[in-house]
Amino acid sequence: MNFAFTDDQLEFFDAIATMLRTEVTADRIRARWDNEGVDAEFLQQAHELGLNSMLVPESLGGLGLGMPDFILLAETCGEVALPEPLVESIMVSTPLLVDILDQGLGNANTQRAMDAVLGGEATVAVAHPINPCVNFAHRADWFLVPHGDAMHLLASSEVTLSPVKSVDPSRQLFELSFSPSADSMVAEGEAAAALWRATLNRGALSTAAQLVGLTKGMLDQSVQYSSDRSQFGRAIGANQAVKHLLADVAVQYEYAKPVVYRAAYTVDVSPRRADFAVSHAKSAATRTGLLAARHCTQVHGAMGYTWECDLQIWSKRAWTLSREWGDEGFHHNRIHEWLLRKNALLGPEFTFGRGSLTDTAA
């Protein structure tokens, strides 16, 4: 089998990635900090390109694409340090609405919220139990929130927001308070637990992809800086110590990418057994992103810590995303739990082969 991305996937990625790298620059990110953290024209452009409907089935009015079709774009959103929670919207909140509708759950507002998202008229935020704060909650029109053993869909008018300061100025965090009712409930019991579990995997995958992209962004900036910055008559990048720092990051980056791609594949074809693949991806991407933040800051020297240096935008995002949707310890525990199962599917034949799609009989 050929596990490389298809020509169609790469062509679609190239077109959108070019737009991202052109429209999202360090200067424009800084400008967003004075404008509620968003660029409304960019969000409209992203919607017109069909990004909001990419992972929505055709039966619900979407493009019917899968996680592997979007994972490269999620990575590029990290590469440019995109402030808007576009990746979370596409990979987390919208697929959760799809799951609710596909399983015949929800309430009178579920389809209404989905139609508004597809029309570019509304956004949905997810308050998962693992994340105490919600990013860009002040821009959301609908909220999917936990309450006891149930999941509720609430309009923004039913939620009270309390701002929380983040080390990353691009993130607009809020704590939520609400009083759900029977009318707002969309799922409960085991059905709600399964929805939250699938959402956790998608959320961790979305942050893993962005962390890999952030690593590339930091690495590219540091390579350029070490080539331009001269000391004692030569570029600092000529020093062996600097080369080793950047080479260590480059190696970890190359190791993390296929792990994230494999997790995207597993979430798409076998979501019920994606826990181990997603946790592996989040763990590898977190380790890579934090290493890049440390080494690339060191390559920049004292300048790397300053507000004026663009690198701090990327490094602060890596610090925050490393704990979003579960930190390294949480995901290491999930990996251990999977490996210790009696019927764990271990070995190369289960990596992408047919045997990886379903568990063996007990």
Residue 332's pLDDT is 93
Percentage of the residues of the chain whose pLDDT score is greater than 90 = 74
Whether the predicted pLDDT of 346 surpasses 90: no
Percentage of the residues of the chain whose pLDDT score is greater than 70 = 93
How does the average pLDDT of the chain come out, rounded? 90
- Within a domain: residue 243? yes
What's the average model confidence in pLDDT over 181-207?
Answer: 95
Residue 2's pLDDT is 65
Whether the predicted pLDDT of 224 surpasses 60: yes
Residue 360's pLDDT is 42
pLDDT tens figures, 320-333: 999 999 999 999 99
Residue 81's pLDDT is 96
Contact between 250 and 172 (Cβ < 8 Å): no
pLDDT tens figures, 88-139: 999 999 999 999 999 999 888 999 999 999 999 999 999 999 998 999 999 9
In our burial notation (b when 16+ CB lie closer than 10 A, e otherwise), range 56-76 reads beeebebeebebbbbbbbbbb
pLDDT tens figures, 260-317: 999 999 999 988 889 999 999 999 999 999 999 999 999 998 788 889 999 999 999 9
Residue 351's pLDDT is 60
- Within a domain: residue 273? yes
Q: Which residues pair with 145 in a beta bridge?
A: 152
Whether the predicted pLDDT of 5 surpasses 90: no
Name the pLDDT band for 155 (thresholds 50, 70, 90): very high
Residue 287's pLDDT is 97
- Within a domain: residue 57? no
Name the pLDDT band for 345 (thresholds 50, 70, 90): low
- Within a domain: residue 308? yes
Can you give the CATH number for the domain in which 350 is found? 1.20.140.10
- Within a domain: residue 92? no
Range of the structural domain that residue 303 is part of: 195-356
- Within a domain: residue 246? yes
pLDDT tens figures, 7-43: 888 988 998 999 999 999 999 999 998 877 788 899 9
Residue 242's pLDDT is 85
For the question of whether the overall pTM of this predicted structure is more than 0.85, the answer is yes
Residue 362's pLDDT is 39
The Cα–Cα gap between 6 and 12 comes to 10
- Within a domain: residue 96? no
pLDDT tens figures, 40-61: 899 999 999 899 999 999 999 8
φ, ψ (nearest 5 deg) of residue 205: -65, -40
- Within a domain: residue 253? yes
Contact between 186 and 110 (Cβ < 8 Å): yes
Whether the predicted pLDDT of 212 surpasses 80: yes
The Cα–Cα gap between 331 and 339 comes to 12
Indicate the number of domains in the chain. 1
